Chains A and B, each alone.
Chain A
Amino acid sequence: MQGVVARVASEPIRTAAVLAELAGGENGAELLFHGVVRNRNEGRAVKAVSYDVFAPLAEQTFREIGDEALARWGPDLRVVIVHRSGRLEVGEVSVIVVVSSPHRDEAYLASRYVIEQLKVRSPIWKQEHYADGDSEWLLGHSLRASETQAEEPPDVQLHARTVAPRDDSERQDRCRARG
């Protein structure tokens, strides 16, 4: 493969198949990152997470982030990004980032860059499903320029503004008019 491969998948991620996409022999370092659905968040027992994804723009964003990694750490870099959509149970892989490069330094730096940028720039949303039967959409990072700290350099923007929590009554305010 050349450059960047990016996609949204509705089926389970097959890690061996993703790694096979990087095969070529020219790079000496290959780094794999898995994001996995965990069983607790902020003290609540989690059963599953539903990922809502605006797929065309998400894939476009993945490609842009991958291209930025190539621009920063060299054209020999290879990047594969696959993110799941739909409902995932605890332990399932939600995202995989694989980076290969001639040497390990670039692979570590690029892998961290890709996953951190993906988390704050990609149009993806998580709805957690809890053991007590409740579900809740998680708060996240605004894509609106006026809501982020535009003066910060890119690596600091990885931790761009998180929207302030609202009170619980507002969070739970679902549309009762439609039942």
Chain B
Amino acid sequence: MSPIRVEVRLFGMFRKYSSAALTFEVPRGTVVSAVRKRIAEALRAACPTFRDERLLEVSVLADEQRVLDDGDALGPRDRISLAILPPVCGG
């Protein structure tokens, strides 16, 4: 079964670690909590000085319609665009 190509857009405090979105592949059915670990790896690849694990821990993954739960599985599309959202402070 072909993997899913994941693009993760960075916002807020994450922008200081990479100016571009992160991209990687995961097996179909991968859950959000596992994607979070892949994001940590991708951030370290993009920025070797990244070690803000706490920021990742308090952040959520979302698509354009909703915040995803850690147990949600990715699929069935071949490509998916997500965003990693650090703690918010609008207004």
In this assembly, does A170 line the interface, its C-beta being within 8 Å of a C-beta of chain B?
Answer: yes
Q: Provided the pairs A170-B52, A177-B49 are in contact, do residues A123 and B15 lie with their beta carbons within 8 angstroms?
A: no
Whether B16 contacts A119 by the Cβ 8 Å rule is no
CA A124 – CA B56 in complex, angstroms?
17
Whether A175 contacts B47 by the Cβ 8 Å rule is yes
Whether A60 contacts B65 by the Cβ 8 Å rule is yes
Whether A175 contacts B60 by the Cβ 8 Å rule is no
In this assembly, does A82 line the interface, its C-beta being within 8 Å of a C-beta of chain B?
Answer: no
Label chain B's interface by main secondary structure.
Answer: loop
Interface size on B, residues (CB 8 A): 35
In this assembly, does B24 line the interface, its C-beta being within 8 Å of a C-beta of chain A?
Answer: no
Whether B65 contacts A173 by the Cβ 8 Å rule is no
Chain B 1-51 residues near chain A, CB threshold 8 A? 9, 11-13, 15-19, 46-51
Partner of A137 from the list B12, B47, B49, B50 (CB cut-off 8 Å) is B12
Whether B49 contacts A51 by the Cβ 8 Å rule is no
B residues in contact with A126, CB < 8 Å: 89-90
Q: In whole Å, how far is A142's beta carbon from the nearest beta carbon of chain B? A: 4
What residues make up the interface of B, taking CB atoms closer than 8 Å to A? 9, 11-13, 15-19, 46-52, 54, 57-60, 62-67, 83, 85-91
Query: Sorted from nearest, which 9 A-B pairs have the closest CB atoms?
Result: A124-B90, A125-B12, A140-B89, A175-B47, A56-B64, A140-B87, A119-B91, A137-B13, A142-B58
